[in-house]
């Protein structure tokens, strides 16, 4: 509700609007609804707005606006009402080659939960996930929540290099490293899709608020997708709800 | 063209940053000392945000293949044209075939080279800033190498009258070794104990060697928490000072990740970005908390100097 939201300075060029302190689809919808409404009604001096799980960082130009003026503008878009979910009409499907050299932690995830690798794959591919945020590195989509039986803690020491396309599990979340970067999630597979292309607009395959599902492919299909360059940003429409 | 004979320690093309793509995980990049880049640009008749070079500690050796109007601002890294010492904060005309080189640093660590009409690499997502994590922008998304060639545009005749102009010392940021840095507390200072906040605001923090364009790792009195756990990941403004579990603060800068989850005790004010940008490992910092309105005043005051130069 509105009284839960807080607006505080993040230095003199930005302020943070927090809607609460939870990771949930309902909270995330409020974030995106706020960003959407505010985004179409920007006043001079309002800059970029960076959305995350339950907050929005609003940049402003201190040459034009004070913190108080920006906060007042923000308040105009805060609403106490919950935002209804729409049924996910577009679910982006991600083909994944599970295990093997690009899924070096899949056994860990299995053992940690005392299930088999096949069950990890079955559970991971059985859910429709909400993309909570795209961030940390270009195109990295953090999604949730994975079934309890495949949750796994992040690595104690992050890897300095995670290959592009790596599919991982971190806590309750799953996600995909779109570009090579350091990373601390448990890697369970690799997708052949190109998830970040700087010549496209938008450059990222995923955006916050998208829905995603994973499906298993074998090595032959994986090579075919990467070799033939089959349409890399396809998604299939699925009717119905998650 | 500008030929890179020697690349220097860590030289990248930067303009004032890549805005608009943080929701795709693309960071802003841009100069650590935005005032110095802006001033160098104004000296050569460019808009403040034109693309120039950020030069770190050991400068490059560059050959101008045509007459070029240029200026340096920020650190004094002992610049020379064909072996003759030149000054920072001054507009020069480099003859065709002349060579710009650098000696031993005298003060600061980051110098900015602006050339008239900017460095003409193609923009990526609206900016010429180098984004090292994404490996794009600037010149192929990387630091300069020997035998790189930087495209520049031909000199405009009516810009010749800029040559010799100086950006007055009275208009420059108050650079100093071991600066006092002003911060606005929050947005999550309530995560820290009173003792922790007091340590942060009263004891010195040293810049460690693990400091770069993503952020400066500092070492000093540990900043204690009073609430366990992490933040829920949120957007990170430039200058965010986050404190991981070991209590040693990290001051995030231009190449930081777009979002993160360590508790944030304070945020550096814009007017003091030039000061931190010139700090080297071993320098000592002290933090002072001011209000957000005081922070704004400080910014208007300093950035107003860019306008005062134009006149």
Q: Which two tokens stand for residue A165?
A: 């396309």
Average pLDDT, chain A: 89
Whether B301 has a pLDDT exceeding 60, the answer reads yes
**B299 has a chain A CB within 8 A of its CB:** yes
- Domain borders along chain A are 2-75, 90-237
**Whether A54 contacts A17, CB under 8 Å:** no
Would you place residue A228 in the very low, low, confident or very high pLDDT band (cuts 50, 70, 90)? low
| Cβ within 8 Å, pair B270-A66 | no
Whether A229 has a pLDDT exceeding 80, the answer reads no
Does the domain spanning A90-237 belong to CATH 3.40.50.300? no
Measured between beta carbons, which residues in chain B are less than 8 angstroms from residue A22? 232
| Cβ within 8 Å, pair A11-B270 | yes
**Whether A28 contacts A132, CB under 8 Å:** yes
Verify that B138 and B201 share a domain, yes or no.
Answer: no
Q: Is the preceding omega at residue A51 within 30 degrees of 0, hence cis?
A: no
Domain coverage including residue B237: 180-310
Measured between beta carbons, which residues in chain A are less than 8 angstroms from residue B22? 48, 50, 135
The pLDDT value recorded for residue A235 is 34
Verify that B33 and B124 share a domain, yes or no.
Answer: yes
| Cβ within 8 Å, pair A8-B186 | yes
The pLDDT value recorded for residue B77 is 98
Verify that B165 and B146 share a domain, yes or no.
Answer: yes
List C-alpha distances in Å: B207 to A112, B179, B223, B310. Answer: 40, 11, 16, 35
pLDDT in tens, A132-150: 999 999 999 999 999 999 9
Measured between beta carbons, which residues in chain A are less than 8 angstroms from residue B186? 8-10
The pLDDT value recorded for residue A240 is 29
Percent of chain B with pLDDT over 90: 95
**How many domains are there within chain B?**
2
- Its ipTM equals 0.95
The pLDDT value recorded for residue A81 is 76
Residue in chain B closest to A39 (alpha carbons) equals: B20
pLDDT in tens, A61-116: 999 999 999 999 999 999 877 777 776 667 999 999 999 888 999 999 999 999 99
Measured between beta carbons, which residues in chain A are less than 8 angstroms from residue B234? 16, 18, 52-55, 57
- Class of domain A2-75 as given by CATH: alpha beta
pLDDT in tens, A29-48: 999 999 999 999 999 999 99
The pLDDT value recorded for residue B220 is 97
Would you place residue A232 in the very low, low, confident or very high pLDDT band (cuts 50, 70, 90)? very low
The pLDDT value recorded for residue A225 is 80
Would you place residue A171 in the very low, low, confident or very high pLDDT band (cuts 50, 70, 90)? very high
Would you place residue A223 in the very low, low, confident or very high pLDDT band (cuts 50, 70, 90)? confident
The pLDDT value recorded for residue A85 is 76
Verify that B81 and B187 share a domain, yes or no.
Answer: no
Q: Average pLDDT of B215-221?
A: 97
The last residue of a domain, from among B127, B154, B171:
B171
Verify that B154 and B187 share a domain, yes or no.
Answer: no
pTM > 0.95: yes or no: no
Question: Using CB atoms, which residue from B19, B135, B236 is nearest to A47?
Answer: B19
| Cβ within 8 Å, pair A67-B257 | no
pLDDT in tens, B79-137: 999 999 999 999 999 999 999 999 999 999 999 999 999 999 999 999 999 999 999 99
The last residue of a domain, from among B139, B171, B203:
B171
**B127 has a chain A CB within 8 A of its CB:** no
Verify that B120 and B235 share a domain, yes or no.
Answer: no
| Cβ within 8 Å, pair A204-B25 | yes
**Whether B74 contacts B110, CB under 8 Å:** yes
Would you place residue B185 in the very low, low, confident or very high pLDDT band (cuts 50, 70, 90)? very high
The pLDDT value recorded for residue A236 is 33
Rounded to the nearest angstrom, the minimum Cα separation between A118 and chain B is 32
Verify that B205 and B65 share a domain, yes or no.
Answer: no
Percent of chain A with pLDDT over 90: 74
List C-alpha distances in Å: A41 to A74, A208, B197. Answer: 10, 20, 38
Distance CA B138, CA A167 (A): 29
The pLDDT value recorded for residue A89 is 65
Verify that B228 and B246 share a domain, yes or no.
Answer: yes
The last residue of a domain, from among B113, B137, B171:
B171
Distance CA B24, CA B20 (A): 9
Query: Which residue out of A12, A142, A161, A175 would a mutagenesis test of the B interface target, given it has the greatest number of B Cβ atoms within 10 Å?
Result: A12
Rounded to the nearest angstrom, the minimum Cα separation between A154 and chain B is 14
The pLDDT value recorded for residue A88 is 66
Measured between beta carbons, which residues in chain A are less than 8 angstroms from residue B183? 11
Verify that B108 and B188 share a domain, yes or no.
Answer: no
Average pLDDT, chain B: 96
| Cβ within 8 Å, pair B260-A136 | yes
Measured between beta carbons, which residues in chain A are less than 8 angstroms from residue B18? none
The helix-helix angle for B292-310 and A67-75 (nearest 10°) equals 120
| Cβ within 8 Å, pair A12-B20 | no
Count A/B contacts: CB-CB distance under 8 Å. Answer: 147
Would you place residue A218 in the very low, low, confident or very high pLDDT band (cuts 50, 70, 90)? very high
pLDDT in tens, B236-295: 999 999 999 899 999 999 999 999 989 999 999 999 999 999 999 999 999 999 999 999
CA nearest A14: which of A52, A62, A64, A53? A62
| Cβ within 8 Å, pair B232-A208 | no
| Cβ within 8 Å, pair B238-A13 | yes
Q: Is the preceding omega at residue A202 within 30 degrees of 0, hence cis?
A: yes
Nearby residues of B167 by Cβ (< 8 Å), 6 or more positions away: B39, B42, B43, B71, B73, B89, B90, B309
Verify that B138 and B227 share a domain, yes or no.
Answer: no
């Amino acid at each position: 509700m509105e009284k839960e939201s807080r607006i505080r300075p993040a230095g003199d060029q930005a302020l943070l609007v927090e809607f609460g302190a939870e990771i949930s689809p309902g909270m995330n919808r409020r974030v995106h609804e706020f960003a959407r409404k505010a985004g179409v009604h920007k006043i001079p001096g309002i800059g970029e707005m960076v959305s995350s799980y339950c907050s929005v960082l609003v940049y402003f130009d201190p040459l034009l606006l004070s913190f108080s003026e920006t906060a007042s503008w923000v308040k105009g878009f805060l609403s106490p009402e919950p935002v209804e979910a729409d049924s996910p009409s577009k679910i982006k499907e991600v083909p994944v080659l599970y295990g093997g050299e690009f899924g070096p932690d899949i056994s860990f995830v299995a053992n940690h939960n005392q299930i088999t690798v096949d069950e990890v794959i079955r559970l991971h591919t059985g859910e429709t996930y909400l993309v909570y945020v795209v961030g940390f590195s270009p195109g990295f989509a953090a999604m949730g929540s994975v079934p309890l039986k495949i949750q796994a803690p992040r690595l104690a020491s992050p890897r300095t290099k995670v290959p592009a396309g790596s599919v991982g599990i971190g806590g309750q979340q799953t996600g995909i490293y779109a570009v090579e970067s350091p990373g601390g999630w448990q890697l369970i597979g690799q997708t052949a899709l190109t998830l970040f292309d700087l010549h496209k607009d938008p450059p990222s395959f995923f955006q916050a608020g998208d829905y995603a599902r994973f499906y298993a492919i074998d090595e032959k299909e994986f090579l075919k997708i990467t070799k033939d360059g089959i349409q890399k940003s396809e998604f299939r429409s699925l009717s119905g709800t998650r | 063209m500008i030929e890179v004979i020697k690349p220097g320690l860590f030289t990248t093309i930067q303009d004032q940053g890549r805005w608009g793509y943080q929701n795709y995980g693309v960071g802003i990049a841009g100069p650590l000392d935005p005032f110095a880049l802006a001033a160098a640009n104004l000296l050569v008749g460019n808009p403040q945000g034109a693309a120039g070079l950020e030069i770190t500690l050991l400068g490059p050796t560059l050959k101008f293949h045509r007459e070029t109007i240029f200026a340096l601002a920020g650190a004094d890294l002992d610049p020379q044209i064909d072996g003759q010492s030149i000054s920072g904060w001054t507009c020069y005309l480099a003859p065709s075939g002349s060579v710009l080189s650098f000696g031993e640093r005298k003060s600061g660590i980051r110098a900015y080279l602006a050339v008239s009409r900017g460095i003409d690499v193609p923009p990526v997502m609206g900016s010429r800033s180098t984004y090292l994590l994404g490996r794009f922008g600037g010149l192929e998304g990387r630091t300069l190498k020997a035998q790189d060639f930087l495209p520049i545009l031909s000199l405009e005749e009516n810009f010749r009258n800029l040559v010799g102009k100086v950006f007055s010392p009275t208009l420059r940021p108050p650079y100093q070794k071991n600066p006092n840095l002003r911060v606005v507390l929050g947005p999550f200072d309530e995560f820290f104990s009173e003792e922790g906040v007091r340590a942060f605001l009263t004891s010195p923090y040293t810049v460690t060697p693990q400091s770069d364009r993503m952020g400066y790792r500092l070492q000093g009195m540990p900043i204690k928490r009073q609430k366990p756990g992490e933040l829920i990941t949120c957007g990170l403004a430039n200058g965010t000072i986050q404190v991981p579990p070991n209590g040693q603060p990290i001051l995030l800068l231009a190449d930081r990740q777009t979002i993160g989850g360590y508790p944030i005790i304070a945020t550096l004010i814009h007017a003091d970005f030039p000061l931190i940008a010139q700090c080297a490992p071993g320098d000592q910092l002290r933090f002072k908390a001011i209000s957000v309105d005081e922070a704004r005043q400080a910014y208007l005051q300093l950035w107003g100097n860019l306008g005062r130069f134009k006149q």
